[in-house]
Structure 1
């Protein structure tokens, strides 16, 4: 009878690239409890941010090189070999020609039934702002708003936090902050929506960083 090589199996499992996914606070707390058998800290900022391995997996098993970075000086992302690949800032589905800042790209209702718009924006707000300045172009991040509630609310401002974490152990690699203006004009009054809808997402970024790591844009769950 063959003897199972448990040590070898464990070593192989340890070498398997971790799977990173987006999680709401609710999902993260459930994951943490499953992994550790205890409740996560009341303040999730107390959970340390873990270094991300050079190779991770998406939820579909795709291997992702996390060392790929965005160019600070050019509107592109670093491709293999050090060449600058053109970054697709435009999310697609445009109306042709110049897209007005107030064009709604997508919208979601959170668990509190707050409807959050993501507009095309400009250099100061919306998709164009956080895609260009903060290298965050992944629509999947905002889809998670449907499964969470604001972490903070002040006046017309709602704030959310989405986590990039390893579901096997609850290790957090990125914290994505989102702020939405639930009013028809920005706080400084400079921008007002002509359609009468809320301004929506002003900014979104990986906390502690000017630009999100490029791998965040390739996660699909």
Structure 2
């Protein structure tokens, strides 16, 4: 699967976001959850892991802040599968590769969909 974005977290992990499909990766969350910029993912991925299941699933929390006339704050999550294969074994990134970002979404928003202002 082709890579759309790359980032490095605080622990030095190189994390890719692949184009993917309707189930995982960029093509999953860009439409479903309205995240359309690599910079949004990178804002969360540059910090330390917030949750680690010990089996390669890493979760990074982020906060988007809008300033100006109508300020707002939205919490979002980026989920990474930092293993060669997905948990269900259906996807394989290839020898020496990691799956990368499988999902990203906003918390406490209708359908976990991020507001349009985050993509400006």
Q: Which protein shows a greater Rg? A: 1
TM-score, normalised relative to structure 1: 0.48
**Greater percentage in strand:** 2
User: What corresponds to 2:35 in structure 1?
Assistant: 136
In the alignment, what sits opposite 1:111? Answer: 10
- How many angstroms does 1:172 deviate by? 5.9
Give the RMSD, CA atoms, in angstroms: 2.0
Equivalent residue pairs, number: 115
Q: What residue is the counterpart of 2:82 in the other structure?
A: 182
Q: Within the alignment, does 1:215 sit opposite 2:114 as a pair?
A: no
Tell me, yes or no, if the aligned pair for 2:7 and 2:46 is still in contact at 8 Å.
no
1:200 matched residue in structure 2: 100
Give 1:1-221 correspondences, 5 Å limit: 102-145=1-44, 147-154=46-53, 155-165=55-65, 173-194=73-94, 196-209=96-109, 210=111, 211-218=113-120
**Contact residue 108 and residue 145 of structure 1 kept, 8 A:** no
Query: Matched residues in 2 for 1:187 and 1:111: separation?
Result: 24
Give CA deviations for 1:95-137 in whole Å, capped at 9, x if unaligned: xxxxxxx101121111111221100010000000000111111
Secondary structure at the counterpart of residue 148 of structure 1 = coil
